[in-house]
Amino acid sequence: MEDEELAQNILVKFIAAIDTLALLHTCNNALEALPFLQRGNVDLLFLDINMPVLNGLDLLRSLPHPPHVIITTAYSEYALLGYELAVTDYLLKPFAFERFLKAVNRVVAHHAGPPAPTPPPAPVEPAALFLKSGKHIRQFQLATLTHLEGWGNYVRLHVQGQRPVLVHETLTAVLALLPAQRFVRIHKSYVVALDKIDRLAANAVHLGGVALPVGNTYKQALHQDFAKRMPPNEG
């Protein structure tokens, strides 16, 4: 709603350039706009302040359920009062299209509602472990680990193509560092890499020519985890 023809033409031009806006009506004064606004089908009102008979802010106060309002005026002194009336934005003439678009985007964002929550990023699997062996910190590539064997406060790491390495950690502590979808405990003294299992028997797993016992406590979970890695039956 704008009583100056030039300013009104600029608004019409700017509105036409934005696909999310549809111009419903233009008014030259507040009294002309009042019955149109009272119908309640307006989502956004561009409102000048200095108009004859009834100024824009008085019109806004008279509306019980005003739409989103963007003030367009040459008078900066009403800015605080405008925001007290919950206007979406306050544009000082003359304003560029970029500033106009920024104000409109505030209304569009409000109608869109809060953004959908971003799902947490998938945990990144470590490629290696760094564990103390003797006086040194050693790196162990997870892809080469076949199984882990608990020895009290120590763990023997069995690595493909190498001799077992003894590290000063408990089996529970090392297991907590391993990705659960790749390593599973099968016994109070053994953890195995699921992708290294050659064969699964009732009470043992076979990997690389080695048979390891499966404890009753871990048997059900092991069979379920191993079944998830099997290809689906065809036919």
State mean pLDDT over 19-47: 85
Task: State whether 141 and 171 are in the same domain.
Answer: yes
In Å, how far are 53, 97, 106, 124 from 156, measured between CA atoms? 90, 69, 61, 25
Residues 189 and 163 in one domain: yes
Tell me, yes or no, whether 10 and 108 share the same domain: yes
**235: in domain:** no
The C-alpha atoms of residue 80 and residue 75 are separated, in whole angstroms, by: 11
Are residue 87 and residue 139 in the same domain, yes or no? no
pLDDT at 8: 86
Query: Is residue 183 in a domain?
Result: yes
Cα 19 to Cα 15, 79, 100, 108, distances in angstroms = 8, 28, 14, 11
What CATH number has the domain bearing residue 161? 2.40.50.1020
Reported pTM: 0.48
Domain count, the chain: 2
Q: Is residue 223 part of a domain?
A: yes
Out of 57, 81, 112, a domain closes at 112
* Residue 44 located in a structural domain: yes
CATH number, position 49: 3.40.50.2300
186 and 101 fall within a common domain:
no
Which residue, 88, 112, 136, sits at the end of a domain? 112
Q: What would the pLDDT profile of 125-163 be if each residue is shown by its tens digit?
A: 778 888 988 888 899 999 999 999 999 899 999 999 899
> Please, how many CA atoms are within 13 Å of residue 228, restricted to the half-sphere of its CB?
10
Residues 140 and 222 in one domain: yes
Residues 105 and 148 in one domain: no
Tell whether 106 and 188 lie within a shared domain: no
Residue 212 pLDDT class (50, 70, 90 cuts) = very high
Q: Specify the pLDDT at position 232.
A: 56
Structural domain including 87 reads 5-112
